[in-house]
Structure 1
Amino acid sequence: MKEILRKLTNFKLSGMAKTLASRNQYAIENSLSYLDFLELLLDDESVNRQNNSLKKRFSKSKLDSSKTLSMYDFTYQPELNKQEILDISSCRFIGEKKNIIFMGNPGVGKTHLANAIGLEALKKGYKVLFIHANDMVSKLVSSKGDGSYFSVLKQFLSVDLLIIDEVGFKKIPLNHVDEFFEIIRHRYENNSIIITTNRSFEEWGNIFGDVVLASAIIDRLVHHAHIFRINGESYRIKSLQSMKNTKK
C-alpha cells in the first residue's frame, strides 16, 4: 500500500491517493472487479481535480463568495425580471461572446448580481476576474512604468469573463482612457464582459472626457449585450431602515 501511495503521489494523482485505503476496503467488502475498483479511484481523482481547479480560479477571480444569487432579494427590485436573470446565470452568454450591462443608481444591487453571475461562471469551469474600473486602468498605467504591461494586459484579456465594476463612479483621467478602450477593443467578440454602472450611456462622454472614444466603447459593449436597467431603491437604505426599526 505504501509503495502504491508513493507512486500515486509521484504521478500527482492526489485524489486517488487520498481515497486509496477506503476504496480498497470498500472493494474487498463488496467483491468489486479490478475495473470497478479502478473506476472509483478515477472518479475520485476527477472530483479532486475539479475541486482544486475551482479553488484556484476562485482565488484569482477576486469574487465575493457571499454575494450569490440566492442571497439577492428580488422582491425589493420588482421591476427586475428574475427569470431573465436566472437564465443569464446559465452562462450561455459566455459561450456566445456576449456582454451583460447592469445600469442603475448606487445601492440597487448591480455589483451583487455581477458577482453572483461570476460565481456561477466559476462553477461551470470558466475563468473569471472581478475588478473596479478605475483599479483596472490604474494597473495598466502603472504596469507601463515597471515593464509588466503585457503581462497585466494578458491578465485582463485571458479570462473568459471580465467583470468591470462601477464604471462612472469616478471619472477616468483623459490620458488613461486609451487603456480602458484597449481592454474593450481586444475583448470585443472574443470574450465576455459584465459592466456595472450608475451612469446612463449619455453621460459616458463626461466619464471618459472624450465623446468619440466613449461612443466607440459603448458601441462595442452593446453590440452583443443584455442590458438591465434597475430602477428600484437602494438596499443600503433598506438595511438602514431595518436597523432603525429594530432599535425601536
Structure 2
Amino acid sequence: MLLASFLGIGIGIVLGLTGAGGGILAIPALTLGLGWALPQAAPIALLAIGTAAALGAIDGLRKGLVRYRAALLMAALGLCFSPLGVRLAHHLPNRTLMLCFCAIMLFVALRMLLQSRPSTEQAYTIHSPLQKNCMLDPATGRLHWNGKCTATLSVIGSLSGLLTGMLGVGGGFLIVPALRQCSDIRMQGIVATSLMMVALISLGTAGGALYHGVTLSLQAELFIGATLIGMLAGRLLCKHLPAHLLQRSFALLCLGVCLYLFVTIF
C-alpha cells in the first residue's frame, strides 16, 4: 500500500512539474512498480491523469486560457475513438502493447530534449503547411473556424483518443506539439486546452472501463489520491525550477524507463 502511495506522489509531482505529458509515466509506475498488466493498469492511470488534469483545466478556465470549443471538439472525437483503442488493447499481445508504449516514450523524451535547447522557439516558428491551419482572429482573439481548422483538430482528437484507449497515456504528449505546429495559440493557452481535453478523454475512457466492470482496489485508490497530492506539490515546485532543467530531467527519466521496459520485454 505504501508503494502505491509513493508511486502516486512521484507521478503527481512529475505531472505538476511537466504538465499533462508527464502522465505517460503512470503506466510504467503501475506495470513495473506494482506488477500490473497493461490492460489492468490503463484505467487506473487514466483516472489519476484525468483527475489531475481536471484541476489544471479548471485553473485554466478561471484564467480564460482554455480554447474550450477546440477542446470539446477534440475530446468528443477522442471519446468516439477511445473504445476502439480499448478493443485493440484487449486483442493485441501485451508485448506488442509495451513496444508501442516504449516507442511513444522515446518520442516524448526526444521531443523534450529538443524543447530544452535554446533554439527551440525559433524552430517552432518555421512555417510549415500545417502551421496556419488554426489561426486566431486578430479582431476577436478567438479561433477562426474553417474546414481546415476543424479537420486538423478532428485528427488530433481522434488520434489522442485511440492512443488513450489503447495505452492509457492520456494524450497530452501528442496534443501540445500538434497544437504548437498547427495553430498560433500561445503556449499557456495550448497547455490549458490540452489539460481540459486530457481530462475529458481520460475520465471518459476510464468511466467506460468502470461501467464495464473494472473495479478500484485499495491500491488503485491510494495511487489516484496520492497523484493528486503530488500534482499540487509539483505545481508549487515548478515555479522555483528552470524550465530547461525540468525538460531535460524528464527526458532522461523517460529514456531510462523506456530502456528498462525494453529490456524487460525481451
TM-score > 0.5, shorter chain as reference: no
More helix by share: 2
Point out the structure with the larger strand share: 1
Report the TM-score, using the length of structure 1 for normalisation. 0.26
Q: Which has the higher contact order (CA 8 A, sep 6+)?
A: 2
Structure of larger gyration radius: 1
